[in-house]
Structure 1
């Protein structure tokens, strides 16, 4: 076979290979474009609130202070999104921003529902006047309700709310088993404790040994009340004994 014939055969073979290659590349490109187009269409569909709206929001959990109207207002903007584009974390944060909501969990339920479980704050005390403490000693801000207006009054440095609550619970338990009720407890900036009983008596506890000083008050109280005078304050900051301030004379006596 002449060299020219071999060259023509090789050229033809190469042309056939190139044709297969071009055809394969074109097919691959078509497939990729189809996938991209389908992905874009799917993305549009999934984000179309008219095509895939959120039909319902199911709220679970005991609620006392959080109203349906508050929940609807908090979620109004977020509900304009589609079922798939709605961000459950944003929904959770929006609900937890409500004054009386402590925790919210949110999950999707096919085909078009959001299921929400709410846990409300459990207020156990007033804090520094207008705020509240929950059972964990965390401070939160919310409107007052008649049902919790009588909770104890606690106050102190903002970063010591948990310690003040713990101390209140300890002192209140000790007083309660001995027939007294602790109405308020405060911690001064200098870390001195002041307790007020529900009968109005102020107990000065100082900075140390507050539990032993409360026990001393319990021990000496029967002797103090023999005087039959209204008591304003009892100062327990002494190593031994107490100083009593009488309500009618503003004078003190040592016991």
Structure 2
């Protein structure tokens, strides 16, 4: 029995060099494709933002306002060089803008969703207050002149908004909606209604006193003496009514 190592089959020389050539061609081709892809990426990444899409249900913030705000310092850079936080800061600096969501869309488009503040009242010093109690400034509050005017310390926002909501909840009579609310620094409340009646509510139990007025109002209508100039409800019961062209107050019992 003959024992010996099996000799490995030796490739022909042409097969060896063919394999080497194939490897080199494959390597060079891969490098070329990678270089080309990187070149294309670099060229596209260098392009400035060409398209701006602005979304959102808006009444006061126009596309032009947003576009001009973003281009104040010149054309926008490429998407890769654009700072989303900076874009958000620029847009939320605009009047009426509560939030801005920004998304990059390859290769050259920026998508912006704008959310406006929803005002529920006009506030002291030409400001507005939103439904969540946030104060914000706009160039002209007259565009929402239909909203109630509130003059009060800024730390009384929650209390004022609570009263506005309570009035709406307790009566749907358009004549008895709150038109003006004055809260002094000493927290004395005065309300003027849409029909022109002024209610003096004082510092305590303001909502209960307004409810007392609602109970008295039908009796006032029966009097047929015109619209009272003001009604003083700063009493334990009833109210004092100042009628037009009268110097004396008439006591009205709540019944």
Q: With structure 1 as the length reference, what TM-score do the two structures score?
A: 0.75
Aligned to 2:129: 133
Q: Which has the higher helix share?
A: 1
Structure 1 segments, 4+ long, off by >4 Å, are none
Secondary structure, counterpart of 1:184 in structure 2: strand
Is the 2:100–2:112 Cα contact (8 Å) retained in structure 1?
yes
Residue 226 in 1 paired to residue 222 in 2? yes
Is the 1:59–1:115 Cα contact (8 Å) retained in structure 2?
yes
Residue 152 in 1 paired to residue 148 in 2? yes
Secondary structure, counterpart of 2:229 in structure 1: strand
Q: Which shifted more, 200-209 or 223-232?
A: 223-232
- 1:72 counterpart (25, 43, 67): 67
Aligned to 2:81: 85
Residue 57 in 1 paired to residue 45 in 2? no
Distance in structure 1 (CA, Å) of the matches to 2:114 and 2:60: 12
Distance in structure 1 (CA, Å) of the matches to 2:155 and 2:142: 27
1:56-90 Cα offsets, whole Å, 9 max, x none, are 11111112211222112210126432221111101
Is the 1:129–1:153 Cα contact (8 Å) retained in structure 2?
no
Specify every segment of 5 or more residues in structure 2 that has no aligned partner in the other structure, as ranges.
1-37
The verdict on how the C-alpha distance between 1:209 and 1:170 changes in structure 2, with shifts beyond 3 A counting, is same
Residue 168 in 1 paired to residue 144 in 2? no
Is the 1:128–1:155 Cα contact (8 Å) retained in structure 2?
yes
Q: CA deviation at 1:144?
A: 3.4
Aligned to 2:236: 239
Aligned to 1:188: 184
The verdict on how the C-alpha distance between 1:208 and 1:78 changes in structure 2, with shifts beyond 3 A counting, is farther
Residue 106 in 1 paired to residue 115 in 2? no
The verdict on how the C-alpha distance between 1:69 and 1:100 changes in structure 2, with shifts beyond 3 A counting, is same
Q: Which shifted more, 176-185 or 63-72?
A: 176-185
